């Protein structure tokens, strides 16, 4: 690999302010060390591990006096941080753990990719970075229903997204093909809905036990990622109805499905059994989830008559609040009057009068995930071996060159909670497949969510992205070598 000194601004997402000082490069000597107060000790250890891997040096962690210092002070704004790099020291400063974690992710990108490179360049570029996010919510979504990914595979995706300051992982846990989270009192959901062969084309199978889910939440929390669980209702419920035929309107059994059709299944809005089931599920998922959000789906309920859809949501939306969570739902949910804190997630390609702008006018915050820009499961081009193309093909420039605050009339900057990049798994089977679809487009969505609009520019992004080629190659990451990028190395 060709070793080149990184420039201070070679970071994705691009920081708000970058002031290089080439006379002040910091030397990664064998005695490099990290210090932090006890409250930031875990972040210090995470940084030390990155440094050990990047340099091969021992990198001890101490309470104070390290050549790299982590200070929990100043910048009381959530996730804001500052990094000062001089010839003598590196200082990371933030008023919150999330800010310090963000600072570590920035510094990580300025380190050599591996020890062999470190032996050649030996320095981190000097200067000062000051930074804070544009949006509070920067999300990625993984579909566990169409293809189940194991806890280890999900952890790997958490590691990937956290590097780019994505701070929410939305898990699509249930759909027509499978049910992927254990729910007390409803064992057949996962015994049947998580059995071998429950996935598109019968691939895979599996589900998360409650301890496994709790471990994932904790793993994500250590990386300042909040898990957002989704139980898709009232449509996309065939797996639940296979397990419990009493959840259909006529009580007749239905067969398992491994095709990728949508819109054929629905819970029955006029049966009390429906609400007993939904309340059990929402209560259990809320109890397992420390984060503030619970996603109830609401999309593509084509076989739920509109009146029943309203009846259903009017009963179910308050349940989420009752168990202490803020409800998120796909934009179809905005057809009904929403509780004040409810968050519609917009995934449409063409604007339509679907209530999202009306919700924004009445003070609701919106998550933007337009499929033609932010869906990581769309093909890159017509020859992509994986992915779908119903929203068109989405190359890297297309995923980067749009702005969420002007996407939908009536939904401006102040109405946005943030952006999310969903990854649906109809065509995916492995971590290598996830990486291939997410990298590099996830970085485009990450930068849209973090960097101020005025500072963003495709040619700058394209040039910074090129530098990840050698890094990902060294790490064995299966990224898509998009022809729009002049990959280095």
Q: What are phi and psi of 433, to 5 degrees?
A: -65, -40
Task: In whole angstroms, give the CA distance from residue 386 to residue 388.
Answer: 7
Smallest distance, ligand NGO to C-beta of residue 450, A? 24
Smallest distance, ligand NGO to C-beta of residue 418, A? 17
Angle between helices 441-450 and 431-438 in degrees, nearest 10: 60
129 C-beta neighbours (distance < 10 Å), count = 23
What b/e sequence results for 399-432 when a residue is b if at least 16 CB atoms lie within 10 Å of its CB, and e otherwise? Answer: bbebebbebbeebeeebbbbbbbbbbbbbbbebe
Per the rule left: phi > 0, alpha: psi between -120 and 50, beta: everything else, 236 is: left
For tokens 């996309």, the residue is 236
* Site residues, ligand NGO (CB under 6 A): 262, 299-300, 330, 347, 375, 377, 388, 424, 426
Smallest distance, ligand NGO to C-beta of residue 350, A? 14
Nearest to 367 by CA among 415, 320, 327: 415
Beta bridge partners of 319: none
**Per the residue annotation, which of 153, 279, 300, 397 is the catalytic one?**
300
Smallest distance, ligand NGO to C-beta of residue 170, A? 11
Alpha-helical segments (H) within 289-395:
306-322, 356-361, 371-374
Q: Is 122 a catalytic residue?
A: no
Q: State which residue, 153 or 300, has the beta carbon closest to ligand NGO.
A: 300
Which strands, in side-by-side order, build the sheet including 81-85?
Answer: 17-20, 127-131, 81-85, 90-94, 68-72, 34-36, 61-62
Task: In whole angstroms, give the CA distance from residue 209 to residue 338.
Answer: 32
Q: State which residue, 301 or 411, has the beta carbon closest to ligand NGO.
A: 301
Which residues belong to the active site?
300
């Amino acid at each position: 690999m060709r070793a080149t000194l990184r420039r201070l601004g070679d970071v994705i997402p691009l920081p708000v302010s970058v002031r290089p000082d080439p006379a002040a490069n910091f030397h990664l000597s064998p005695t490099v060390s990290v210090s932090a107060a006890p409250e930031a000790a875990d972040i210090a250890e995470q940084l030390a591990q990155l440094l050990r891997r990047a340099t091969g040096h021992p990198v001890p962690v101490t309470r104070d006096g390290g050549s790299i210092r982590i200070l929990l002070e100043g910048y009381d704004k959530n996730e804001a941080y500052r990094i000062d790099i001089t010839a003598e020291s590196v200082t990371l400063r933030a008023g919150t753990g999330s800010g310090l974690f963000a600072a570590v992710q920035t510094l990580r990108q300025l380190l050599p990719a591996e020890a062999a490179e470190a032996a050649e360049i030996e320095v981190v570029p000097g200067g000062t970075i000051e930074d804070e996010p544009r949006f509070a919510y920067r999300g990625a979504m993984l579909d566990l229903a169409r293809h189940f990914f194991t806890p280890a595979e999900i952890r790997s995706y958490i590691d990937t997204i956290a590097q780019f300051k994505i701070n929410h992982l939305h898990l699509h846990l249930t759909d027509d093909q499978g049910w992927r989270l254990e729910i007390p009192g409803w064992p057949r959901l996962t015994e049947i809905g998580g059995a071998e062969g429950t996935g598109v084309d019968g691939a895979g199978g599996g589900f998360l036990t409650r301890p496994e889910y709790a471990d994932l939440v904790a793993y994500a929390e250590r990386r300042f990622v909040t898990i957002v669980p989704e139980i898709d209702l009232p449509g996309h419920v065939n797996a639940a109805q296979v397990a419990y035929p009493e959840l259909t309107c006529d009580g007749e059994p239905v067969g398992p499905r491994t095709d990728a059709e949508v819109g054929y299944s629905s819970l029955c809005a006029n049966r009390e059994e429906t609400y007993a089931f939904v309340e059990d599920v929402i209560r259990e998922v809320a109890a397992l989830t420390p984060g503030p959000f619970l996603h109830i789906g609401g999309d593509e309920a084509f076989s739920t008559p509109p009146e029943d859809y309203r009846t259903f949501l009017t009963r179910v939306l308050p349940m989420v609040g009752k168990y202490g969570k803020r409800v998120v739902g796909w934009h179809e949910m905005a057809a009904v009057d929403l509780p004040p804190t409810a968050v519609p997630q917009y995934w449409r390609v063409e604007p339509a009068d679907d209530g999202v702008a009306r919700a924004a006018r009445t003070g609701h915050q919106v998550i933007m995930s337009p499929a033609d820009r932010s869906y990581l499961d769309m093909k890159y081009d017509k020859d992509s071996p994986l992915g779908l193309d119903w929203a068109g093909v989405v190359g890297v420039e297309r995923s980067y060159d749009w702005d969420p605050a002007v996407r939908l009339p009536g939904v401006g900057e102040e109405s946005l909670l943030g952006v999310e990049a969903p990854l649906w798994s109809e065509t995916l089977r492995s971590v290598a497949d996830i990486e291939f679809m997410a990298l590099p487009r996830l970085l485009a969505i990450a930068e849209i969510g973090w960097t101020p609009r005025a500072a963003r520019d495709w040619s700058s992004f394209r040039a910074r992205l090129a530098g990840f080629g050698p890094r990902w190659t060294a790490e064995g990451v299966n990224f898509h070598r998009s022809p729009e990028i002049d990959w280095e190395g």
